[in-house]
Every structure is written in structure tokens, then in C-alpha cells.
Structure 1
Amino acid sequence: MASPHHLKFDGVSFTYPGSVRRVLTDITFAVPSEHVTGLIGENGSGKSTLLQLVAGVLEPDVGVITTPPVTGFIEQETQLPFSSPASEVIDAAVSELRDVEKQIGDLSSRLGDEPELADAFDAALATAEQSGVWELDSRIATVLAGLGLAKVPLETRLGEMSGGQRRRFALAALLLRPVDAMVLDEPTNHLDDEGVDFLISELKEFRGPVLVASHDRFFLDRAADSLVDLDAGLGPEGGAGEATRQGTVFTGSFTDYLLAREDIRRRWAELYVAQEHERARLEKATDQGESDIFHRDVSKSEVRTSAKFYADRAAKTLGNRLRSARGRLEALERDELPPPPARLKFHGIPEHTTLASLGEPAVVARDLWVDDRLGPLTVTIQPGDHWLIEGPNGSGKSTFLKAIDGKLQVTEGLLRIPEEVRITRLSQDDEWTDLDTPAGEIFAALVPPNSPTLVDMGLMNEETAARPLGELSLGQRRRVSLGVILASPPDILLLDEPTNHLSLALAEELEEALEEFPGTVLLATHDRWIRRRWAVRTNGRGKVLTLPGRWDD
């Protein structure tokens, strides 16, 4: 029987202490049992904040959040004890189920002497059946294998693992824990195709409500049956969705959402244009005088006898028309429709001169090995080529990019890159240390003089760029990293999971900008949305290098 629990938000608003900027305003929606609702919006729109409110990490200023008794939560930045082995994380997740098994053993041993325990024993058995206690070891193995962790020894300390492995162990713990609802923040980061497919199947089979914030377009399209967009720029009426002051609810898949959102924005723009035409007409009407209203030639014989008549009639007519125009203009300004907010648009990569020698390949790899993480690899990449580097976790995608960038030494084989070529790499995870300086100042210090600003590039608005980096979301920090790279474009652009933490809109705009980039691009990603459209979106320049999965990052 399905769980009757719901996640509910009723008029929820929140402002961080000491800040004058409200993050969330009057959020109202519900997530029923056996439903997956995707939470989306621009970077900094409050997605992670809303999830922390659900988890009880934060308290709303006003409004009510109703959650089921046991709500599992995984944050975007997983906090796990580095000194602990992975086995402790898994044991803690299933401890409640292990306790049921122990309770059954204890009751069974006492039942002969204490028959009054029969009801308790039956209840424990029923709980065990419903919770899958008897298949727990098999269930653990299934979850670990599904998330690509089957080959990681459970005695391995978490501090010895990669960030992706720790993240996947945290996700495994959530899936194994008996909960009534799940709240997930960017759960597909560090998952390969098989891992994403496994997570989708797990969420589809879960009997409680699921709320998930994600920038993974493929995942949202397959997993979610409704979406809540926290972007305030969706129009005052919400169009096809159910409008709140902030947040619009859409039913259907991510593809359905894209169509509905564009329809909302189109109709809002049309209404705004019509309003401004009417405003201009009324403003012109209020400036009219008698000569604008009456166009006549008066004969000399009429001058004396009718002058007063015409003057009185003109004054009355002019007064009525002016009062009517002014009244309608005041009504329009009182209830005026605001202009559609300008989207943060990525303006593309500035033009530059490619430094690669004509006729010489940008990258040549021959029987390339990097420790036991990559190899053997043979590939020739020409200047201006756009390559998609794909493969499961551990196949060496990041390793290959780091080797090209000079961050990892080649163990065997050949890796040749012309000396004059400039290379820039966007790493998979940002590592900022100066969190007290405004984002705009950090950006300006890292780019050449006269470079476009974050605002010029459409990556941030002025208010966000003026805030300290530590106050920004992971997605907003990612925009700074992206801007630093693209403000002074290199000959070879290395992008490692570039859409991680980016808003859906900016991810689309980044793809479009890369189509026109004249330099060489090597893009490593698990993003299936990008990969499915690679050949089309790169205007035929797109090539694919698939690395076999042999090791686990």
C-alpha cells in the first residue's frame, strides 16, 4: 500500500540573518506520495535553501512546511567523516533494519517461555517483510553496484576516496535507509549513465514523495512528473503553470516544461508590447490641444457670430478627452505589467587569434599511458576540432584533460602539443579559497585588463557580482570560474563536466556559444542531454572519443 505522506509548503518565505535580500518569497506547492517533483531555477534562486528548510537545517521566516515523520536528505556538498571506512556509512544507514532482525531473533528465543510476545513477534515479522530485512545484504550489493561502487572495498576510508566516490556512498546510504520521503540536492553529480538510470528506477519505485533539485536535464526529463521553477521571471499570471509569488508549478516532463515556459515568456512579452503601445497613445492624447482636435477653416462671416460657440465646444470636448486619456493612463500605470526580466544571457566567447601552427595538430597522443588511470590511448586532434570525451566513471576522462593541461605526468607513450598553444581547463570541482571578496573583484583580478565583466558576459547581475563569493551558491561560483576562462579564450579549451551546478538556461546558452568557438574544445561530460545532441549542436564539427571503463575514479 502506498504511503499517504506528502511534502507541503504553504506560504514559505526566508531571509538569511543579517541580509536584506529575501531568498524565498511565498512558496506554496505540494509533493504527493509516489511522485517526483523537480526543483529548478537560476543559480541563487533559492533551491538549496528551500531543501535545507525541508531538512530542518534552516527555519522559515513565515509559512509552514509539512514533512513525513522520516525524511531523508542528501546535500549538494556531502559531509562525511574522512577517517571512517565506507562500511560505517552503510552500517549506519541500515542499522534500523538490522535492529528489526535482532528484535525478531530475541523475540523468537523468548516466545516459548513468554507466549504473550506473539503479537510483538508477528508485528516484527510484518515489519521485516515490508522493509525487505531478509534481502538486506542483497539489497546493499544491488545499490552499491547500481551506483558504481561494487569494486570499492568497504574498509576503504572515506578520506582516501575521490569526491565522486564519497558522494555516491552518501547517496547509497540514503537509498538504503528506511525513510518516508526523500529530498535530494543535485543527486546525479558524479554519476555515469548506468548510475543515473539506476537512480531513476529507484525514485520511480519509491512509495513516498521525492523533491529533487537538479540541473541534469536528461534526469529531470525521465524522472520528474512535475517541476517547480523558482525563477521569478515567469510572468505575473504563470501561464500554463500554477503561479505563486515565487515558484511556478508545471506538470509533465522537462521537455513539456521547456515548451510551457517559452509560451509564458512569449505571451508576457506580447502583453508588455501592447501595453507600451497603449501607454504611448495615451501620453500623446494627454498632450493634445484644441488645434489637434479641431481641423477647420472658419469663414469671416462666421467669426463674430460663432466664435464663442466654437470656443465653448472646443473647451468642453478637449476637457472630456483629456480627462478620459489621463484617467486611463493613471489606471494603466497603477496596474501596469512589468517588463519581462532580461535573462542572464551568455554572450559567447570573445573572438581571438588561434596560435596553433597551421597544419600542425593541436594534440597528438600515441599509446599514451598515465599511471594505471588511462591507457593505451591514441588520438590526433586538429586545431578547431570539437571533441566530446565520454565514458563511465574511472575511464580516464578527467585524467586525459589533466595530462593535456600538464597537471599529470605521462607514464608511457607520446603526448605532443605545440609549445605556443594556450590551454585553459575548467575543472570538475571549483576550489576557491578567498570567500570574503566580492565575486566581481575576484573575477577582475584574474582576467586581463579591459576584459568583459561578469555582468557584460551575462553570467551575473550587478547585485550578485557585488556579493562576497562565500555568500554565493555553488552554481554562482561556477559562473565565476567559467567567466575567468572565457574572458580570455585559449587555443585549447578543456571542459570537465562544465554543466555541473549551472542553471538549465545557462547550460543551454553555453552549448550554443561553444558552437561558434573557433578554437579546439575537449569536453568531458556525463551530461546525456549534451551527448544526445552533440553532432547537431556542433554544426558537424563534433567528434567523439569514448574511453572504456576500466578503473574507478
Structure 2
Amino acid sequence: MRTAEVCASLLARRRHVHRSNAACRARAHLNATDLHLSRGGRPVLPGVDLTVSPGVRLGVVGENGRGKTTLLQVLAGTLAPDAGAVQRRRGARVGLLAQESPPPSRRRAFEVYEAVAARAGTEAIGLARLGLLPADAAHRPVTELSIGQQRRLYLALLPAARPQVILLDEPANHLSMTLVEELTDALATTGAAVVLATHDRRLLRDTGGWPRLGSDPRAGQALDIECIQWILGIQSW
């Protein structure tokens, strides 16, 4: 092929990619643009562009302190970046299971669960029927639950809120192997987009078919998979 034909082919491909990316952004639940955030003078998010489209699955792995938790918090809107912005599609609901649980409520667990379901217009399945908490724990104030029981309650609140995007930060913490397997099954069938940060070997194994990213601010690479665009200095694992 002659040089002119090669150049024409590359330009046509670039225009196609640009149109595809624009279409992805238009229907995406979340569009993060040029996110910057530093801690102690060290860049944690050194310019992140991320598009989360419907049904996307993304696993985020890497050493502690590489920005996984920070990114999920920024995407959820619980942490403001130093620069850049996250645009959320009108009406899009984003659910975050944080690594650190919020201060526990004094309300009974089932009351917290039913309130979340009511706000989302969900016909709530009984909390005890989900199998995450025994009936006696579901009727106790959240302040009286163990750390593990609180974690399982917050996990139950996610589907009750009917999110279009689920952000999971170390969701396997305080879960039994059986519950981790059930979580994996639930993630495989949900219609929501899922961004998962975890070190749990079983969960990593069970989600081995997902695009998996390992963050390294020094790498300066980019990955584009199914309308996921991430420029975080990443390495594809």
C-alpha cells in the first residue's frame, strides 16, 4: 500500500474512533475529565479521563496508595478533586460501597434498608430474606451490629438503591467465602455498570474475565475498552 493510502486509512480510522468515543460519552452514566488530586504533595490522580458506560465491568488493582479508593470517592461525588470534573448523566444513580463504613445509624437495620428502598421506589425484599443478616440482627440498631454485620448491611443497601453505576471498594472485607461467591454471581447478572477495586484473591479470580487495570502514576499509558477511557498512568495486567 502506498504512503498516501496508508495515511488516508489512518485518518479514517481516527475519525471513526473519535465518533465512537463521542457516542460513548453521550450515553455514559459518568464522564470524568482531567481529574487531578494530590496528597502530601504527591499526585494520586495525575490527570484522569474516565468514561463509564452502561453495563461496563472494570476491575482496578494495584498497590495501596495508588489512588484506587480516591478515584472511587471522586466518581461517587464524596470527594472533590483538586482540578477536573465528573459529569453525571441526568438521573443517573451511583452507589458506593466504601472501604471505611460510615458512622452507624441508631435506627434498626431493616428500617435503614427499607428507607433506602423507598427513596428509590423499590419494592424491598425483606432484609433477612437476602441472607446477609440473620433476622435478629436485622431488628437491632445498626450501632449494635458487629463490623462485619454492618458491612453486610451496607452491601444490601446497594441494590435497594437501584444504582446505574456500582462502585465497590474492597467489597470482600468481612465477608465469608460463600458470600463472596454470591457477590460474584450478583455482579455477573446486574445490569448496572460496575467498577471494582479489590485485593481479594477469590474475587479477582472470579472476575478474571473483566478488563483489569493496575495503576502506576509513572507509567503514562492509556487503555480504551468498550467505551472505558482511563488515562491515569496505568498498566494493563
Per the normalisation by structure 2, the TM-score is 0.70
In angstroms, what is the RMSD of aligned CA positions? 2.4
The residue number in structure 2 matching 1:500 is 173
SS at match of 1:500: coil
Show structure 1 runs of 5+ residues with no match: 1-356, 537-541
Change (3 A) 1:363 1:410: same
Match of 2:214 among 529, 536, 546: 546
Q: Could you give the per-residue CA deviations for residues 195-228 of structure 1, whole angstroms, max 9, x where no partner exists?
A: xxxxxxxxxxxxxxxxxxxxxxxxxxxxxxxxxx
CA distance in 2, matches of 1:384, 1:532: 20
For residue 486 of structure 1, report the CA deviation from its aligned partner: 1.4
CA distance in 2, matches of 1:532, 1:460: 26
Match of 1:491 among 160, 164, 173: 164
The residue number in structure 2 matching 1:533 is 206
Match of 2:45 among 359, 374, 377: 374
CA distance in 1, matches of 2:58, 2:96: 14
The number of equivalent residue pairs is 188
CA distance in 2, matches of 1:477, 1:455: 13
CA distance in 2, matches of 1:469, 1:485: 16
SS at match of 1:455: helix
Q: How does 1:305-320 map to 2 (within 5 A)?
A: none
Contact kept in structure 1, 2:93 and 2:163, CA below 8 Å: yes
The residue number in structure 2 matching 1:388 is 59
The residue number in structure 2 matching 1:520 is 193
Which one has a larger percent helix, Structure 1 or Structure 2? 1
Q: How does 1:201-280 map to 2 (within 5 A)?
A: none
For residue 438 of structure 1, report the CA deviation from its aligned partner: 3.0
For residue 358 of structure 1, report the CA deviation from its aligned partner: 9.6
Match of 1:445 among 115, 123, 127: 115
Greater relative CO (CA pairs within 8 A, separation 6+) = 2
For residue 475 of structure 1, report the CA deviation from its aligned partner: 1.1
Please state if 1:479 is matched with 2:187: no
Per the normalisation by structure 1, the TM-score is 0.32
Show structure 2 runs of 5+ residues with no match: 1-23, 219-237
Change (3 A) 1:409 1:471: closer
CA distance in 1, matches of 2:98, 2:80: 17
The residue number in structure 2 matching 1:399 is 70
Change (3 A) 1:358 1:441: same
Query: Percent identity among equivalent residues?
Result: 34
Contact kept in structure 2, 1:391 and 1:549, CA below 8 Å: no
Which amino acid in 2 is paired with 1:516?
A: T
Change (3 A) 1:359 1:473: same
Larger Rg: 1
Which amino acid in 2 is paired with 1:369?
A: H
Change (3 A) 1:369 1:439: same
The residue number in structure 1 matching 2:31 is 364
Change (3 A) 1:412 1:468: closer
